[in-house]
C-alpha cells in the first residue's frame, strides 16, 4: 500500500481529494527543511512544493517512487539524483494561466497608471486640497498601442500574450538568448528588450535562465519600459534591477517572486529605496480557481502513476 506524505499542506488553500486506490495519507500543515528526514520516512509518494529534495533527503527515502510537485517549477528538486534513484517527478501544468496572466496585467496597469502613488495621494488628502476637480500629480500612460515583450512562451506566456492583445498591445515573443537562429513568429532576444514597453518573464529557473535579465539586459530596455517578473526570483538579477530602478534606467518593475522566499534574510528589492517598484508575495498563481485546479491535477498525476500511466513527468528512470 502506498504511503503518501504531504509535508506542506497549508501551502495550497484547496481541497485535495483522496486518491482512488488503497493508501495511507499523511500530511503536515508546515514543515521545516530539517524535519523532512523524519517526516518522509517510509513514503512511496511525496507531494512537494517549496521544500528542497536533494541527494541528502533522497538518500534516506529508499521506498520513494514518485515526487508529485504541487507547482510547475521543479527547481527545488534534484532531478539528476532522482534519475539515479529511479524516482519519477511529475509537475502540474497550465493550472494558473488565467491567474498569472491577470496578475501580470494588473502589475503593468498599476505601474503605467501610477495607481499606488495616486492611492497614497488620496489617503494623504491631496485630492481634497486640489484646486481642480481631478488631481494630476502623476503621469498616466495607456497599455493600448504599446509593445509587450514575452520571455518564455509556455502556457503562462501565451495567456499573458492573449490578454495583451485584448488590451490592444503589440506582442513580441522572445527567442532564446543567444540562439543561433530566430524561429518564425519569434523576436531576437536583445531586439525584444530594445523594442518593448513592458517585458514580462515566464521562463523556468535553471542554469541557462538564472540572471537572464541582468545589468546588460536592463541597459537595453527603454527608459520608459517596465519589467514584470512572475516567474522565479533568480531569473532576474535583483541587485541589477534595484540599481536600474534607482538610476531611472527603466521606468518601473512589478515583482511577484524573490530569490529567497520568504525573504527572512532581507532582499535588495525590499530596501524601500527602489522607486516605481511593486512587490507582491508570490501570489500571482494563487486564485481560488487556480489552487483547486492545481490540487486536482496533483491527485490526477498520482493516480495516473499508480495505474502505470504516468503523466506530466519531468524526469524518468535511467
- pLDDT digit string (tens) for 162-184? 999 999 999 999 999 999 999 99
Using one digit for the tens of pLDDT, what is the confidence trace for 193-204? 999 999 999 999
For the chain, what percent of residues have pLDDT higher than 90?
Answer: 98
CATH 3.40.50.720 in the chain, residue ranges:
2-94+289-315, 97-279
Q: What is the spatial distance between Cα 218 and Cα 272, in angstroms, rounded to a whole number?
A: 20
Torsion sign, CA atoms 176, 179, 183, 185: positive
Other beta carbons within 10 Å of 269: 23
Cell of 199: 517585458
Active site residue 282: yes
Which of 76, 210, 282, 303 is catalytic? The answer is 282
Which of 2, 103, 232, 249 is catalytic? The answer is 232
- DSSP assignment of 205-239 equals PSTTTTTSB-HHHHHHS-TT-EEEE-S-GGGB-HH
For the chain, what percent of residues have pLDDT higher than 70?
Answer: 99
pLDDT category at 315 given cuts 50, 70, 90 is confident
Report pLDDT for 239.
Answer: 98
Which of 30, 216, 261, 307 is catalytic? The answer is 261
Using one digit for the tens of pLDDT, what is the confidence trace for 123-177? 999 999 999 999 999 999 999 999 999 999 999 999 999 999 999 999 999 999 9
Q: What is the spatial distance between Cα 57 and Cα 194, in angstroms, rounded to a whole number?
A: 44
Cell of 23: 493508501
Do 51 and 31 contact (CB within 8 A), yes or no? yes
Q: Is 174 helix (H, G, I), strand (E, B) or coil?
A: strand
Report pLDDT for 228.
Answer: 99
Cell of 88: 519519477
**CATH top-level class of 97-279:** alpha beta
Active site residue 2: no
Could you tell me which of 4, 274, 5 has the C-alpha nearest to residue 116? 274
Among the CATH numbers 3.30.70.3290, 2.40.37.10, 1.20.140.10, 3.40.50.720, which is that of 2-94+289-315? 3.40.50.720
- This prediction's pTM: 0.90
Active site residue 9: no
Cell of 31: 514543515
Amino acid at each position: 500500500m502506498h504511503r503518501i506524505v504531504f509535508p506542506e499542506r497549508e501551502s495550497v488553500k484547496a481541497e485535495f481529494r483522496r486518491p482512488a486506490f488503497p493508501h495511507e495519507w499523511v500530511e503536515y500543515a508546515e514543515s521545516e527543511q530539517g524535519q523532512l528526514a523524519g517526516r518522509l520516512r517510509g513514503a512511496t509518494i511525496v507531494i512537494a512544493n517549496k521544500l528542497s529534495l536533494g541527494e541528502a533527503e533522497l538518500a534516506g527515502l529508499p521506498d520513494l517512487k514518485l515526487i508529485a510537485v504541487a507547482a510547475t517549477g521543479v527547481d527545488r528538486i534534484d532531478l539528476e539524483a532522482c534519475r539515479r534513484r529511479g524516482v519519477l517527478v511529475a509537475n502540474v501544468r497550465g493550472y494558473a494561466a488565467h491567474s498569472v496572466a491577470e496578475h501580470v496585467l494588473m502589475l503593468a496597469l498599476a505601474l503605467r497608471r501610477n495607481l499606488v502613488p495616486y492611492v497614497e495621494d488620496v489617503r494623504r488628502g491631496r485630492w481634497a486640497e486640489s484646486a481642480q476637480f481631478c488631481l494630476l500629480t502623476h503621469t498616466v500612460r495607456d497599455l493600448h498601442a504599446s509593445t509587450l515583450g514575452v520571455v518564455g512562451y509556455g502556457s503562462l506566456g501565451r495567456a499573458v500574450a492573449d490578454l495583451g492583445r485584448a488590451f490592444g498591445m503589440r506582442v513580441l515573443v522572445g527567442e532564446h538568448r543567444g540562439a543561433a537562429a530566430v524561429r518564425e513568429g519569434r523576436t531576437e532576444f536583445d531586439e525584444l528588450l530594445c523594442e518593448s514597453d513592458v517585458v514580462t518573464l515566464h521562463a523556468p529557473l535553471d542554469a541557462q535562465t538564472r540572471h537572464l535579465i541582468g545589468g546588460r539586459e536592463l541597459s537595453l530596455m527603454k527608459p520608459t519600459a517596465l519589467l514584470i517578473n512572475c516567474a522565479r526570483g533568480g531569473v532576474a538579477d535583483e541587485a541589477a534591477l534595484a540599481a536600474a530602478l534607482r538610476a531611472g534606467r527603466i521606468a518601473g518593475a512589478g515583482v511577484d517572486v524573490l530569490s529567497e522566499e520568504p525573504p527572512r534574510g532581507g532582499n535588495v528589492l525590499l530596501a524601500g529605496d527602489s522607486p516605481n517598484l511593486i512587490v507582491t508575495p508570490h501570489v500571482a498563481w494563487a486564485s481560488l480557481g487556480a489552487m483547486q485546479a492545481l490540487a486536482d491535477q496533483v491527485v490526477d498525476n498520482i493516480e495516473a502513476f499508480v495505474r502505470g500511466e504516468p503523466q506530466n513527468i519531468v524526469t524518468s528512470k535511467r
